[in-house]
Amino acid sequence: MRKPNAKDRILETAGELFFQRGYSGVGINEIIEKAGTAKASFYQHFPSKESLCEAWLQDMHDRSSVHHGELLASGLPPQEMAAACFTRLADFLKAGDFRGCPYSNTGAVSDENCFGIVKLIRVHKESTRIFFRKIASLAIPDEGRAATIGDRLFLLYSGATAEAQNLKCLWPVEIAGEAAVELLT
Amino acid sequence: MRKPNAKDRILETAGELFFQRGYSGVGINEIIEKAGTAKASFYQHFPSKESLCEAWLQDMHDRSSVHHGELLASGLPPQEMAAACFTRLADFLKAGDFRGCPYSNTGAVSDENCFGIVKLIRVHKESTRIFFRKIASLAIPDEGRAATIGDRLFLLYSGATAEAQNLKCLWPVEIAGEAAVELLT
DNA sequence: CCATAAGCAGACAGACTTGTCTGTAAAGTG
DNA sequence: CACTTTACAGACAAGTCTGTCTGCTTATGG
């Protein structure tokens, strides 16, 4: 097995734990234990737990930006782009370790004092909104109408993510996916 | 000012605090202090903090059931029923103390061991879904199609709630409200 | 008047939390 | 070899949390 440096190990371990049990449900001690590192090493790389959370959110955002870029450059018809998003979400759900949108979950336990965290959530959500607007603009000539439809896709995606988690079932993603395709035709 | 018994005072105080800062962000000590009661009194009425949370969720669900019933019995056209839901949500947002869906927020910090809490969240969400399906069935003759549209209303409502909180702005509610009315015409 | 119930006050236990600190060991570099 | 960087090990502080406990006060109903 590979053995990257301590910082990467911490970030990777924290990412898995935060994703599965939420930011507030995981302590530093568990992270460093599972990452096989020492507390002093942790605080050498991250000044606080909050900054680790910010690094995690930033990391996820970077990955999702790459994925969004690839999808937009794929040349697929816009309906299939949107469908791919919901299929991907459904696959996550079927994999079993899905716990809802990590950004929303983190926001639910962050007060207004956590400026960095709140800002990263906003940046990611706004960027996802733009992504769906771009998809909509490929299918809808009217610029204003495309923006509105893009926002609706975004809200359907968010609602499907939230309620699939709350109800622990798949239908919200399927229904939202169908609605998204309909909105684009 | 009235002075109801300790149990009601605790439930009311906890409701406000849970709503504003989340279940995990509020401790027993703060609740009893703000409610003007003693810890022993608290544990005489509630065996645990978790059971207080369940009572809170149940209380909110009962109120929302009443409201849903009133709206369905109002005789308004279905488009206006749906619009009223989103207007109500917008009013909450403008009031300033909105912190997102309390059920989703509580679910984000409850692990699978909290059976009672998870179940209450599911019951409420499923009941809200039924509510929107009933609205849809008033506007759409085809039964299957009405169910699908009802589910879409539900997902739009959920997405609007979540993203209005994440982005701290009003447009998700407005966009979702418009989309809901369009879906019903 | 008195007994029972309800509530208040707050110490306390035990288990967590984040973050600091001291000290040691290993590995790469001039 | 010497030096610096990096990481490991873990005690410790200071605070949080839930939940239990003892004792005191007040109110109500027979």
Give the residue range(s) of CATH 1.10.357.10 domains in chain B. 50-183
pLDDT at position A112:
83
Give me the percent of chain A exceeding a pLDDT of 70.
98
Model confidence at A1: pLDDT above 60? no
pLDDT at position A113:
85
A156:B152 CB<8 A:
yes
pLDDT tens by residue, A140-161: 999 999 999 999 999 999 999 9
A6 CB closer than 7 A to any strand C atom: no
Distance of A22 CA from C24 C1′ (whole Å): 35
Give the residue range(s) of CATH 1.10.10.60 domains in chain B. 1-46
pLDDT at position B112:
83
Model confidence at A170: pLDDT above 80? yes
pLDDT at position A111:
85
Chain C positions under 7 Å from a protein CB? 6-11, 16-23
B41 CB closer than 7 A to any strand C atom: yes
Token pair for residue B79? 């488009």
Alpha carbon distance A104, A177 (integer Å): 20
Q: What is the four-CA torsion angle of B63, A164, A162, A182, rounded to 10 degrees?
A: -110
What CATH fold (topology level) applies to the domain A49-183? Tetracycline Repressor; domain 2 (1.10.357)
Q: Which residues, other chains included, contact B11 with Cβ-Cβ below 8 Å and sequence gap of 6+?
A: B52, B55, B56, B59
DSSP B114-130: -HHHHHHHHHHHHHHHH
Alpha carbon distance B24, B52 (integer Å): 12
Q: Which of these, B149, B154, B126, lies nearest to B138 by C-alpha position?
A: B149
pLDDT at position B120:
96
Q: Which residues in B lie closer than 8 A to residue A24 (C-beta atoms)?
A: 24, 109
Model confidence at A127: pLDDT above 70? yes
pLDDT at position A3:
59
Q: Give the other-Cβ count within 10 Å of A122's Cβ.
A: 16
pLDDT at position A2:
41
B176:A155 CB<8 A:
yes
Q: Return the CATH class of domain B50-183.
A: mainly alpha
Segments in chain B below pLDDT 70: 1-4
Maximum Cα interatomic distance, chain B, rounded to a whole number of Å: 57
* Ordered alpha helix ranges (H), chain B: 6-21, 28-35, 39-45, 49-72, 78-95, 102-108, 115-139, 143-167, 171-183
pLDDT tens by residue, A52-77: 999 999 999 999 999 999 999 999 99
Note the CATH architecture for domain B1-46: Orthogonal Bundle (1.10)
Q: Are residues A146 and A133 in contact, defined by beta-carbon separation less than 8 angstroms?
A: yes
